[in-house]
């Protein structure tokens, strides 16, 4: 489900931003590390911008599924983990671009939407997703790693598989 939302997000965002230079004060393919100074950042500014949209799409889709309660019992923890995992990435990117002064007014509208989404989802379910650990996760979500890192929290909160 998250992969379908991810790919849909790519398509939708591409169509919404057919002229990517309209959203930035710099050329859209400017390396982000040239703006924020992070030697570990390998994306261009448009790539990070685009990432935030797809992350919002994934989080929104998974949260709608989660809040419906219409899932198999053994899916609950994985849904919680996946939402938190993608939210963690969104928060990272929102913070990564927070003080970069790279957006035009049009770009800033999108950025503010991403930032507000990160706050909204962070506060859901009494801040559940902020209480979870995503240490040792790779680029892709790994349920076993998530379960191992959050075993104590899951047991304390009586989150039943």
- What are the two backbone dihedrals, phi and then psi, of residue 37, each rounded to the nearest 5 degrees? 80, 5
d(CA 102, CA 107): 8
Return mean pLDDT, the chain: 90
pLDDT at 161 over 60: no
Q: pLDDT-based confidence at 159, cuts 50/70/90?
A: low
User: Cβ contacts of residue 111 below 8 Å, gap of 6+?
Assistant: 49, 52, 94, 97, 103
Q: Which residues pair with 102 in a beta bridge?
A: none
pLDDT digits (tens, 9 = 90+) for 66-121: 999 888 877 888 999 999 999 999 999 999 999 889 999 999 999 999 999 999 99
d(CA 8, CA 12): 6
pTM over 0.85: yes
Burial of 27: CB neighbours in 10 Å, binned 0-12, 13-18, 19+: exposed
**What token pair was written down for 134?**
């995503």
Residue that the structure tokens 């990435």 belong to = 89
């Amino acid at each position: 489900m998250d992969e379908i939302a991810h790919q849909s997000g790519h398509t939708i965002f591409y169509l919404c931003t057919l002229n990517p230079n309209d959203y930035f004060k710099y050329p859209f393919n400017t390396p982000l590390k040239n703006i924020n100074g992070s030697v570990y950042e390998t994306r261009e500014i448009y790539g990070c911008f685009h990432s935030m949209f797809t992350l919002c799409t994934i989080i929104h889709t998974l949260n709608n599924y989660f809040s419906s309660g219409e899932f198999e019992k053994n899916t609950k923890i994985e849904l919680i983990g996946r939402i938190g995992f993608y939210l963690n990435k969104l928060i990272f990117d929102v913070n990564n671009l927070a003080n970069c002064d790279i957006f035009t007014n049009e770009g800033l509208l999108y950025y503010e939407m991403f930032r507000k989404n990160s706050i909204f989802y962070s506060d859901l379910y009494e801040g559940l997703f902020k209480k979870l650990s995503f240490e040792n996760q790779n680029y892709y979500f790994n349920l076993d790693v998530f379960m191992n890192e959050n075993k104590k929290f899951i047991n304390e909160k009586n989150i039943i598989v």
